[in-house]
C-alpha cells in the first residue's frame, strides 16, 4: 500500500510541473511576439516625449469613424504648445514648433493631402483603396525637373494636380536670390507668383482690392511678359504720378509704356486728379493722310489734331489761337 502511494506521488508532481512549464513557454512566446510586433510596426504610440526623440518610422494618428449625430469630437490631433516669444538670430528663431532641414539641393519637404483616386460613394466612403495627392505645400531650393537646366527655385509653394494628375506649382513665394548657389541670399523685396491660375477677388460686402503706396514709392500695376524664373519684362504700367501738395494736386493717373528691354518710353495717357483734364502725349503725328494707322487713333502737333477715321486714312483739324 505504501509502495502504491509512493509510486503515485511522483507521477502527480511530474504532471503538475509539465503543465506549469507549458504555460510558461506559451506566455514567453506571446510576449516575444508582442514585443517584435511593436518594435517592427510602431502602429500606435502614446505617452509623453521629452528631449530629443528620433523615430525612423511613421506615426499614424487616426480618428474614429464617428457619425456627426454623436456630437463627440473624435479627431486625432498633434497639438504643439509654445510659450516662447519670437527671438533669436539668422540661424534660427525661438518659438519654432516644426523645423524642416533640407539635406539635398533638390530635396522637398512637403505637407500633403491625399484623396481617393475614384472619389467617394453615396455613403461618403472611398470608392477604392488607392489614394493620390490632391494638395502639396512646402519648400525647396533646386529645380525638380532636369529640363529646367538646374535653375534654382528657392520658393515655398502650393501645388495641385493638373488634368493628367501631375502636381504643378500654382502659388509661390520666393525666399532667396535664385542665381546664388552659395548662400540663401534673402530678399529685401520678395516675389509672390501664381502659375496656371486665375485670381478672383469676390466682393460680398464692402471689401476693396487696393494697391497702396506713398509719395516716395507710388503704387503701380505692371503688365509684361515672362520667359521663366526672374526674366520678367514690363511693357505697360498703370501708375500714380506726381507728389501730393494739397488742394487735390498730385497722385495723378498715368499709363506708361516700355521698350522690349523694360525701359520707359513715354506716358501716352494721363489724367489730372484735381481738374480731371486728360493729357494725350503724341510724338508721332502723321506726315500724310495715308500714313499707317488703325481706326480710332488720335495724334496731334502744334498746328493740328489728327484722327484716323479708317485704317491708314487720317483726317485733321487746324488748331487756332483764341
Last residue of a domain, one of 199, 229, 263: 199
The pLDDT value recorded for residue 216 is 87
DSSP-assigned letters across all residues of 166-204 = -EEEEEEEE-S-TT-SSS----SS--EEESS-------S
Q: Are residues 233 and 189 in the same domain?
A: no
Same domain, residue pair 156 and 178: yes
One domain, residues 220 and 298: no
| DSSP string for residues in 221-275 | EEEEEE-STT-EEEEEEEEEES---STT-S-EEEEEEE-TTS-EEEEEEEE-TTT
Instruction: Tell me whether residue 116 is in a domain.
Output: yes
Query: Is residue 297 in some structural domain?
Result: yes
Residues 255 and 273 reside in one and the same domain:
yes
Residues 136 and 171 in one domain: yes
> Do 121 and 195 lie in a common domain?
yes
d(CA 304, CA 85): 69
**Set of cell numbers at residue 207:** 471689401
Query: For residue 266, is it within any domain?
Result: yes
Q: Determine the structural domain holding residue 277 and report its residue range.
A: 208-281
Which H or E run contains 29? helix 2-41
Domain count, the chain: 3
- Please state, in angstroms and rounded to a whole number, the distance separating the CA atoms of residues 234 and 226: 9
Last residue of a domain, one of 165, 199, 233: 199
Co-location of 129 and 193 in the same domain: yes
Residues 168 and 123 grouped into a single domain: yes
pLDDT at position 7, please?
36
Q: Do residue 124 and residue 189 come from a single domain?
A: yes
- What does pLDDT average to in each consecutive run of 10 residues of the chain (322 residues)? 38 44 54 53 53 71 67 80 73 77 90 95 94 96 70 93 94 93 91 91 92 91 81 92 91 96 94 94 90 94 95 96 92
Statement: the pTM of the whole predicted model exceeds 0.75: no
Q: What is the pLDDT of residue 17?
A: 47
What pLDDT does residue 8 have?
A: 36
Amino acid at each position: 500500500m505504501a509502495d502504491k502511494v509512493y509510486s503515485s506521488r511522483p507521477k502527480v508532481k511530474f504532471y503538475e510541473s509539465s503543465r506549469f512549464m507549458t504555460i510558461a513557454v506559451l506566455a514567453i512566446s506571446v510576449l516575444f511576439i508582442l514585443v517584435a510586433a511593436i518594435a517592427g510596426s510602431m502602429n500606435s504610440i502614446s505617452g509623453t516625449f521629452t528631449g530629443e526623440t528620433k523615430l525612423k518610422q511613421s506615426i499614424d494618428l487616426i480618428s474614429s469613424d464617428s457619425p456627426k449625430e454623436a456630437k463627440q469630437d473624435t479627431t486625432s490631433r498633434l497639438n504643439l504648445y509654445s510659450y516662447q516669444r519670437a527671438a533669436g538670430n539668422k540661424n534660427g528663431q525661438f518659438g519654432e514648433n516644426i523645423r524642416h532641414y533640407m539635406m539635398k539641393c533638390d530635396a522637398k519637404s512637403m505637407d500633403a493631402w491625399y484623396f481617393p483616386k475614384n472619389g467617394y460613394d453615396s455613403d461618403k466612403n472611398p470608392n477604392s483603396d488607392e489614394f493620390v495627392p490632391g494638395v502639396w505645400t512646402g519648400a525647396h531650393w533646386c529645380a525638380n525637373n532636369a529640363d529646367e537646366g538646374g535653375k534654382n527655385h528657392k520658393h515655398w509653394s502650393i501645388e495641385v494636380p493638373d488634368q493628367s494628375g501631375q502636381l504643378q506649382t500654382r502659388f509661390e513665394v520666393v525666399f532667396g536670390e535664385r542665381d546664388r548657389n552659395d548662400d540663401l541670399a534673402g530678399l529685401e523685396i520678395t516675389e509672390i507668383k501664381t502659375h496656371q491660375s486665375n485670381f478672383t477677388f469676390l466682393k460680398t460686402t464692402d471689401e476693396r482690392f487696393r494697391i497702396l503706396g506713398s509719395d516716395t514709392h507710388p503704387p503701380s500695376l505692371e503688365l509684361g511678359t515672362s520667359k521663366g524664373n526672374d526674366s520678367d519684362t514690363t511693357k505697360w504700367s498703370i501708375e500714380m504720378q506726381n507728389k501730393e501738395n494739397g488742394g487735390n494736386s498730385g497722385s495723378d493717373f498715368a499709363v506708361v509704356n516700355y521698350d522690349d528691354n523694360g525701359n520707359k518710353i513715354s506716358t501716352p495717357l494721363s489724367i489730372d486728379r484735381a481738374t480731371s483734364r486728360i493729357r494725350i502725349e503724341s510724338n508721332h503725328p502723321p506726315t500724310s493722310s495715308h500714313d499707317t494707322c488703325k481706326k480710332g487713333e488720335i495724334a496731334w502737333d502744334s498746328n493740328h489734331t489728327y484722327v484716323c477715321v479708317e485704317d491708314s486714312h487720317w483726317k485733321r483739324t487746324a488748331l487756332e489761337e483764341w
